[in-house]
């Protein structure tokens, strides 16, 4: 009886380890995750945050700078955060997608950002931040983006 229980525990532990390794090592396909936030639709699941200029909900912040400088500033800020890397795009093209990983397990969140020129020396960021795994992110994506935007404000 104890041997069967021990074997079951070992099998379950091995399955859990394989799952954790998959979360950490699964490839991130840019063609799937590098999504223009201006064209993105709000997902049905509560594991994403979408911010667009002129939107009814979550309207983008307006900054007193041009789009290129705003994209470069956001890129510097994003890459200065722990466990954040660039997946696709460049700030020079005004469209970049980043991967932010959770501290313990390394769950990936994808953050697509487009700098939008509003004219007269003003720009905004359209941002689509979403979790790859799970149904709910408990507001992590929204909190992260609002925190980063607060750090960008003068």
On whether residue 23 sits in a domain, the answer given is no
Domain that holds residue 135: 30-152
In the chain, the number of structural domains is 1
- For residue 129, give the CATH number of its domain: 3.30.310.80
Give me the pLDDT at residue 144, please.
Answer: 96
> Dihedral (C-alpha) 150, 80, 28, 91: value to the nearest 10 degrees?
70
Question: Does the pLDDT value for residue 50 go beyond 80?
Answer: yes
Give me the pLDDT at residue 104, please.
Answer: 84
Distances (CA, A) of 133 to 21, 35, 104: 13, 17, 15
pTM of the model: 0.87
**How far from chain centre, in Å, is Cα 134?**
14
- CB within 8 Å of 129: residues ≥ 6 apart: 48, 49, 50, 109, 110, 111, 112, 141, 142, 144, 145
């Amino acid at each position: 009886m104890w041997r069967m229980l021990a074997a079951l525990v070992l099998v379950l532990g091995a399955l859990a380890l394989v799952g954790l390794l998959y979360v950490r090592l699964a490839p991130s396909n840019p063609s799937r995750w590098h999504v223009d936030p201006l064209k993105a639709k709000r997902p049905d699941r509560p594991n994403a945050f979408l911010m667009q200029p002129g939107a009814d909900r979550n309207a983008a912040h307006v900054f007193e700078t041009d789009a290129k400088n705003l994209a470069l500033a956001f890129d510097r800020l994003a890459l200065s955060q722990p466990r954040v890397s660039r997946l696709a795009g460049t700030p020079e093209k005004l469209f970049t997608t980043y991967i932010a990983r959770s501290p313990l397990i390394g769950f990936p969140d994808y953050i697509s950002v487009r700098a939008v020129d509003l004219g007269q020396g003003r720009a905004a960021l359209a941002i689509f931040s979403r979790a790859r795994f799970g149904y709910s992110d408990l507001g992590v994506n929204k909190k992260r983006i609002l925190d980063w935007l607060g750090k960008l404000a003068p």
